[in-house]
Structure 1
Amino acid sequence: MSSEWAVHGSRPVYTSPWVRLDLVDVEPLGRDRYEHHLVRFAPVAAVVVINDRDEVLMMWRHRFATGTWSWEIPSGIVEDGESPEAAAVREVFEETGWQVDEVEALAYIQPIGGMSDAEHHVFLACGAIYVAPPVDAHEADRLTDPMRPVKPTLCRVGRLLCCPSVPVGPGAGGECAIGVRCIASRGRTSSESLTW
């Protein structure tokens, strides 16, 4: 016997280019029908950029929604008509000034599947070239910095991939992603190979 819920219809409550709130008429197995809130987000592409020393390019930024500072990997919305791969390459450049040529799929995540449709396409890029200062300079306070390393130990698998940010604060260990060390970037000022 399947536990799949029956969906009888839905109606939008609020819509914007970034998010839509629907009330969905659902019927869980053996339960009464009711309207369930469903938040639909625009799809996101995120990139773990590593160099030949398995160091990860990260951004230190504040998130007003949670009131926290955290290290994050570059990420952003997939634009209309854009592939997730193209969005991944674009977001790395716009947010960090580093150019990656190729990305490979690492994970597909729906982080809050019980109440939202929030596609996260996570990619891996091995190597990058510094091109220019970030286009979206407002996106981060700074990139990873050798004077402020993120805990230089092997990181727990999945911590970063479930949510592309790493809380850093009282009691936070700075642990991040996929079995690689997260040490800092030495900000570049001219075109050169990725060696942060």
Structure 2
Amino acid sequence: MNLYEKVLFHQNKAIQIALQLKDDRKLGVYYSNMGTYLEELGDYNSAIDSYTKSLEYRKVLDYKMGMIHTYNRLGSAYRLAKDYSNAENSLLAAQRLKQEINRFDTNISTYLDLGRLHIDAGDLKKAEDYLNKSLPLYLGSPWEDRIAEIYQAFVQLSLLRVLSREIIDWVTYNYLTLTLALILAHSKRPFIHKTTQGYRRRLTHT
């Protein structure tokens, strides 16, 4: 029995005990954890089933933060399973719940995730729109270190446009990404400075 098999075995045991005790809170957690393990194993359909069960228990408790987490995980699993419609619906459901509880980060991660999703789905215009919305929200936020992930998504978008023979957009996106990196190059945050310097060097050699 390998490590993942052991984890799944013990997680199943925990779920069985929680079912006997009718502990909805723990079942929401355990099924979500199970989904994460299955997703890492590449069993996306089983992961989706586990996340869906987690969501059911969290809805019973009206535990909105837990529901937000599970909707985001569902979005990830659907995306990996290439079910882009359900992935988008799950991410937007998480966003709506954030709005209900006035989370200040309502759109920050959602826009980045939706941008990546539409890159995978091949809808480059939607991907561009979401990524452009995402960047200014991250600036000055507690998650500023994730700006590097936005740059990486822009690079991926640029490459896809090149493959689509949209050469003008390749130049435009390289210029945009390099400009954004230069804006942040003198940031006082060491991580951001290091990251943007790396992108600057990489893009000047394309």
TM-score (norm. length: structure 2): 0.25
Between structures 1 and 2, the one with greater helix share:
2
Greater RCO structure (CA 8 Å; 6+ sep):
1
TM-score (norm. length: structure 1): 0.26
